[in-house]
Amino acid sequence: MNAVIAFPAMKPELKPNMSAAEREELHAATLLEERRRLDEDLQVLRAREANLRDYETHLRALQGQIESSTPTVPSIVRAGGPGFPARAASGAPVENEAALSAAWEKLHRARELMEAEQAHLRDDRLNLKETAAVLKRREDALALREARLMEREEQLAVATASFTESLKATPSAMARFTQAPFAMAKSVFGGGNKHQ
For the segment 127-158, what is each residue's pLDDT rounded down to a tens digit? 999 999 999 999 999 999 999 999 999 999 99
pLDDT at 75 over 80: no
Between CA 113 and CA 119 the distance in angstroms is 10
pLDDT of residue 65: 86
Between CA 113 and CA 65 the distance in angstroms is 34
CB-hemisphere CA count at 13 Å for 169?
6
Question: Residues 62-72: what's their mean pLDDT?
Answer: 78
**Averaged pLDDT score across all residues of the chain:** 81
pLDDT of residue 196: 46
pLDDT of residue 184: 86
pLDDT of residue 191: 62
pLDDT tier for residue 76 given thresholds of 50, 70 and 90: very low
**pLDDT, tens only, 15-39:** 567 777 888 888 888 999 999 999 9
Between CA 140 and CA 148 the distance in angstroms is 12
Between CA 74 and CA 95 the distance in angstroms is 18
Ranking 10-19, 42-51, 155-164, 166-175 by mean pLDDT, the lowest is 10-19
